[in-house]
Structure 1
Amino acid sequence: MSYKSIAVVILAAGQGSRMQSDLPKVLHRLGGVPLVGHALNAAHSLEPEQIIVVAGHGAEAVTKAVGKLDPDARIVLQSEQLGTGHAVRQALPELEGFEGKVIVLYGDTPFIGEDTLAALASHHADVVVLGFEANDPGRYGRLVVTERGLEKIVEYKDADEATRQIALVNSGVMALEAGLLRQLLPRLSNSNASGEYYLTDLVALARAEGHRADVVTCDEDETLGINTRAELAAAEAAFQTRARHAALENGVSLSDPATVWFSLDTAIGRDAVIGQNVVFGPGVTVESGAEILPFCHLEGCHVSAGATVGPFARLRPGAELGGDVHVGNFVEIKNSVLDEGVKVGHLTYLGDAHIGEATNIGAGTITCNYDGVSKHKTEIGPRAFIGSDTMLVAPVRVGADAVTGSGSVITEDIPDGGLAIARTRQVTKPGLGIRLMQALRMKKTEKR
């Protein structure tokens, strides 16, 4: 669907005191990313010309987090929290010259759907409010609707008893023309029970100017806002349920769905098989036909078709597994590329490495990539055989078809086809073993 030009303003200035946290509310994680990341993700579904995030409490931390999630988003500061209308007003300088529709989202409301946002963006009314039929309207603002559209929004504190009986309530999400926003925001008043500038008052102001206001409705679940740790936990459960269902619907096999945890951006191809107790951190792509065995943790990595991972494996950011790679139990891989057909069976750490195709990595192998100051790279050519318990002290290169002897500490490059054995010669003292053990046992008895 095509829209006129869109700009999105995300309100993320609140402290969230009910979270009982020093961390700004919008930085608490849901689905592996900060709450504000969900709002940014939703905004991008509209392909907006610009995204503006209004920060306040913990602005420095919010700015840093948003910069990582979306470097193109602009940050503006609300130094005093004087209400939603005041917050949106801080974004006006960034909207100067913009002619299109402005959609206001909230950094602590993570589940607004793409279809709902599309309905807001494409609606013909000058002001469009997102509402829902609440099972328990509670202290939500009420939407007063007549045959002429949305007449006004009445905050609970300011509503009479008859108005409080209305079940159609305000989510806070709103869309309106940029020119109208610039015209009406300065006219907001804080003459209300809270002494704040309500964004919702724009409806009455617009109607008084002869503009049409209307309501788009959605399911109540989409409007879930996060205010407490309990609500965050409930939202996480809801997110995971949706993610698991989506994976199954898209042809992914989950051995025990309730034990698999997804992130917002987890991408898994059809016919992939995911075992129980697998955790996907942010930035994971698993191609079709790959298998992740039980008790694995993956983050910031790519697993190609036909690869198998686990059980009990950890893929850290920068891990790139080619086709038909096998990564076994108690293997950790970080910032390393494994070409097609590499086998890393067990008990191994590979960091800052490039492993050539069809290479076999023996148990207990470690790339010693950090000297205490800098990271260094290990390169292993195709079809190499790395013996068990090999220490590869980077920077170092092992050539194609090369072999290392078990227990070796490799500090120099190995040419193609070469064999490197780097360990001290074994010394055997006949009979000394049993005499040593007898002496130790006798000393222990004497101490008793």
Structure 2
Amino acid sequence: MDQTTHSFAAIILAAGKGTRMKSDMHKVLHKVAGRAMLEHLMASVAELGPERLAVVVGAGREQIEAAVGDRAQTCLQEPQLGTGHAVQQAESALAGFSGDVLVLYGDVPFVRAATMREMLERLHGEDSPAAVVLGFEPEDPLAYGRVIADDDGRILKMVEYKDADESERACHLCNSGLLAARAADLFALLARVGNDNAQGEYYLPDIVNIAIADGKPCAVIVADSADEVAGINSRAELAEAEARWQSARRLRAMDEGATLIAPETVFFAWDTQLGRDVTIEPNVFFGPGVTVADNVLVRANSHIEGAKLASGVKVGPFARLRPGTVMEEDSFVGNFVEVKNAVLHEGAKASHLTYLGDATIGAGANIGAGTITCNYDGYFKYKTVIGERAFIGSNSALVAPVTIGADAIVAAGSTVSRDVAPGELRMVRAEQLVKPGWADRFHDAMKKKKEAAKKA
């Protein structure tokens, strides 16, 4: 944690209905890279060590309250009368707090901790601004509100696009809506904001113009990119945010020593960890909770989540690793192998067409094609333990709970429901029935029957 010099509180606005998302799920709980927007933002805030954190809720408040738990105090905005009114609802949550306040938006999830720090530090500049606004410079400023400022970043005027004249519209410095102020200044200025506008709402940026009219300076800092302050309001914008995040993560993976054969086809989760000299073939998806050590090969069309892969592991193609999978050094799962809540010790391998669930596979064990661990009876899960160097023949069913001893052999096609001792051969098959000439007689009879049917 890299805490700020001065104590601060954060207010996250998340009271909007999010109607453009067309979802029963609250907008800020929709995920990018497997993590809710709100969680991305809260993680960045947490890096700076806030003294207090308040989340302003409205529609879908129960979902937000369940998501944040005791990590933040929620404040209800009802009715919803604008961003200024929303911030006011957090005043009681910040009672007795005299530090800085950072105002953020739950649907603007990728503001960097470094940018937040810069905003807070600017509050303590020599001119002691009453408010610090985060601006950005998009390629097309569209109808964003403008921040009119001098070369030193001192704000002269905040103006909405519809109220701006031609010279003001020519300014490409736009208002992101994010703002920092000292608590006393913030709430005193908000108390003076009116709602004499087309929407009849109380707008947060109005505090800047009020402060300037009082002769108090306000300042702007500029985000590194427009992407950092991009809001997500629809499914299309959610997809665009995902694409931007994935593109940046792929570049970082390659910069840190991983080979991505077809980068645009690989998808990472927010917490994917990759070692050096990892090779990832096309069409690989990482869900949350994956750690990959050095010198791992992940072959094409594999899906991995909640798994830990040690050095020298090989996975796929067409493998699925589910949560709880641990693959130790030089273990291998091949095509159409699914693993769940199982440990493959060093050098263990399941080359194809296998399901290993709730199992421990000993070092050097070989799991033949078509083997399954029958781990569920419809009510409870049971464990299969396979010893070191054991050999499980193809098309075997291991009915858990069961233990296969070290160096044991399970013959192909066996259904094993009792423990197998170390070094033992277990063969569970019905006796083969042989009837010489039966197939020839069958084919002759059926051919005659077919010919008779044609003539009929």
- Correspondent of 1:194 among 199, 204, 211: 199
CA apart distance, 1:2 = 4.4
Shift of 1:209: 5.8
Deviation digits for residues 349-397 of structure 1 (CA, Å, limit 9, x no counterpart): 1112222222211111111112112222222222222221121112222
Q: Secondary structure at the match of 1:117?
A: helix
> 1:411–1:95: structure 2 CA closer, same or farther, 3 Å change rule?
farther
Q: Displacement, 1:111?
A: 3.0
Query: Counterpart in 1 of 2:20?
Result: 18
Match of 1:87 in 2: 86
| Residue 442 of structure 2 is aligned to residue 436 of structure 1 | yes
The C-alpha deviation readout for 1:165-218, integer Å capped at 9, x for no partner, is: 332111011122234334444443322221112121222344456654211101
Which residue in the other structure is 1:396 paired with? 402
Task: Tell me which amino acid in the other structure corresponds to 1:255.
Answer: I
Matched, 1:362 2:332: no
Letter in 2 for 1:141: G
Secondary structure (helix, strand or coil) at the match of 2:205 reads: helix
1:28 to 24, 27, 30: 30
1:371 to 373, 377, 382: 377
Segments of 5+ residues of structure 2 without an aligned counterpart are none
What is the alpha-carbon distance in structure 2 between the residues aligned to residue 236 and residue 74 of structure 1? 28
Match of 2:298 in 1: 292
Distance 1:275 1:188, change over 3 A: same
Letter in 1 for 2:8: I
User: Which deviates the most, 232-241 or 433-442?
Assistant: 433-442
Within a 5 Å distance, the mapping from 1:43-442 to structure 2 comes to 43-66=45-68, 72-123=71-122, 124=124, 125-146=129-150, 149-207=154-212, 211-218=216-223, 219-442=225-448
**How many angstroms apart in 1 are the aligned matches of 2:452 and 2:34?**
58
Deviation at 1:130, TM superposition (A): 0.5
Aligned residues: 445
Partner of 2:42: 40
CA contact (8 A) 1:389 1:407 kept: yes
Given the superposition, is the C-alpha separation of residues 90 and 300 from structure 1 closer, same or farther in structure 2, using an over 3 Å criterion?
farther
- Does structure 2 retain, via aligned residues, the 8 Å contact 1:158–1:193? no
Letter in 2 for 1:213: C
In the TM superposition, residue 142 of structure 1 has moved relative to its aligned partner by 1.6
* Equivalent position SS for 1:352: strand
**Conserved 8 A contact 2:3-2:47:** no
What CA distance in whole angstroms lies between the structure 2 residues aligned with 1:428 and 1:441? 23
Q: Is the 8 A contact 1:157 1:193 kept in 2?
A: no
Query: CA 1:184–1:412 in structure 2 vs 1: closer, same or farther (change >3 Å)?
Result: farther
> How far apart, CA to CA, are the structure 2 residues paired with 1:213 and 1:78?
27
The secondary structure found in structure 1 opposite 2:71 is coil
Amino acid aligned to 1:11 = L
C-alpha displacement of 1:330: 0.5
Cα 1:400–1:161 change in 2 (3 A) is same
1:393 maps to amino acid: V
Distance in 1 (alpha carbons) for counterparts of 2:260 and 2:296: 12
| Distance across 2 between alignment mates of 1:20 and 1:322 | 44
How far apart in 1 are the matches of 2:22 and 2:411? 56
**Does the Cα contact within 8 Å between 1:158 and 1:192 map onto a contact in 2?**
no
Q: Give ranges in structure 1 of 5+ residues lacking alignment.
A: none
Q: 1:44 aligns to what SS in structure 2? A: helix
What amino acid is aligned across from residue 166 of structure 1 in structure 2? C
Instruction: State the Cα deviation string for residues 123-166 of structure 1 (Å, max 9, x = none).
Output: 22442110012332222122132468224432334445554333
Paired with 1:445 and 1:30, the residues of 2 have a C-alpha distance of 64
Question: Which segment drifts farther, 218-227 or 294-303?
Answer: 218-227
Q: Which amino acid aligns with 1:435?
A: R
Give me the whole-angstrom Cα distance separating, in 2, the residues matched to 1:113 and 1:356: 45
Instruction: Give the conservation status (yes or no) of the 8 Å contact 2:153–2:220.
Output: no
* TM-aligned CA distance change 1:437 to 1:152, over 3 Å: farther
3-state SS of paired residue (1:336): strand
Counterparts of 2:91 and 2:409, CA distance in 1: 65
CA distance 1:412–1:222, shift in 2 (3 Å): same
Q: Judge conservation of contact 1:361–1:388 (CA < 8 Å) in 2.
A: yes
Amino acid in structure 1 at the alignment position of 2:277:
D
Rounded to whole Å, the distance in 2 between the matches of 1:207 and 1:19 is 37
TM-superposition CA deviations, 1:70-107 (whole Å, max 9, x none): x7344443343322222223333333343432222222
Q: Which amino acid aligns with 2:148?
A: V
Q: 1:347·1:365 contact (CA, 8 Å) conserved in 2?
A: yes
DSSP-derived class of the 1:270 partner:
coil
**Could you tell me how far 1:32 is from its partner in structure 2?**
2.7
Which has the larger Rg?
2
Alignment CA distance shift 1:204-1:337 (3 Å):
same
**Separation in structure 2 between the aligned mates of residue 272 and residue 240 of structure 1, nearest angstrom:** 18
